[in-house]
């Protein structure tokens, strides 16, 4: 399925040119146009899925498999020291393009800050309640 108004559908199909570092039947991996660091890439499925809520489970598994395959050669080619693999779902979580994608962000020692977030406090009782509410 494809969404004619979606920029990543157009990039994934090749209709809009991109700096592609990998392509197969189901995915295209491109360089991010506004990279967080040198070599920041995006794994984009060719099918349109809005986010992790909607993506087919097998496609999601394949995306993570591709992340696994890519980071070693990318680390070597870039002289990177580590990688963040991250994936945003919905606006509140920072998603800006509503076609599922996974970020591969190379990290360089001494060059940039580690991604970080604040910390909320919960009592032991609250943590137990949260844990109970989340058990599957």
Please give the C-alpha separations between residue 44 and each of 63, 75, 77, 89, 121, in angstroms, as whole numbers.
8, 20, 21, 14, 36
Of 40, 48, 99, 101, the catalytic one is: 101
Among ligand 5GP, Zn ion, none, partner that 32 touches (CB below 5 to 8 angstroms by kind): ligand 5GP
Instruction: State which of residues 59, 60, 85, 97 lies at the interface with ligand 5GP (CB under 6 A).
Output: 97
Is 101 a catalytic site residue? yes
Closest CB to ligand 5GP among residues 60, 97: 97
Pairwise CA distance, residues 58 & 67, whole Å: 14
Residues that contact ligand 5GP, how many (by CB under 6 A) = 12
Take residue 23 and report the two structure tokens written for it: 């392509």
**DSSP designation for 41:** E
Please give the C-alpha separations between residue 62 and each of 31, 34, 55, 68, 100, in angstroms, as whole numbers.
19, 25, 11, 10, 13
- Which residues would be at the binding site for Zn ion (CB under 5 A)? 3, 6, 8-9, 48, 99
Instruction: State which of residues 14, 33, 69, 115 lies at the interface with ligand 5GP (CB under 6 A).
Output: 33
Pairwise CA distance, residues 74 & 40, whole Å: 10
Closest CB to ligand 5GP among residues 37, 122: 37
Binding site for ligand 5GP (CB under 6 A): 7, 18, 30, 32-34, 42, 88, 94-97
- Residues annotated catalytic, as ranges: 101
């Amino acid at each position: 399925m494809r969404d004619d108004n979606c920029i990543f559908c157009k990039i994934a199909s090749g209709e809009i040119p991109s700096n592609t570092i990998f392509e197969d039947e189901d995915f295209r991996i491109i360089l991010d146009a506004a990279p967080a660091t040198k070599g920041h890439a995006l794994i984009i499925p060719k099918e349109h899925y809005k986010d992790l809520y909607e993506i087919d489970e097998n496609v999601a598994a394949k995306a993570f498999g591709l992340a696994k395959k890519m980071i070693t050669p990318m680390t070597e080619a870039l002289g990177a020291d580590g990688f963040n693999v991250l994936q945003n779902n919905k606006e509140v979580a920072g998603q800006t393009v509503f076609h599922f994608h996974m970020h591969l962000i190379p990290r360089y020692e001494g060059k940039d800050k580690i991604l970080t977030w604040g910390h909320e406090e919960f009592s032991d009782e609250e943590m137990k309640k949260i844990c109970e509410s989340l058990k599957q």
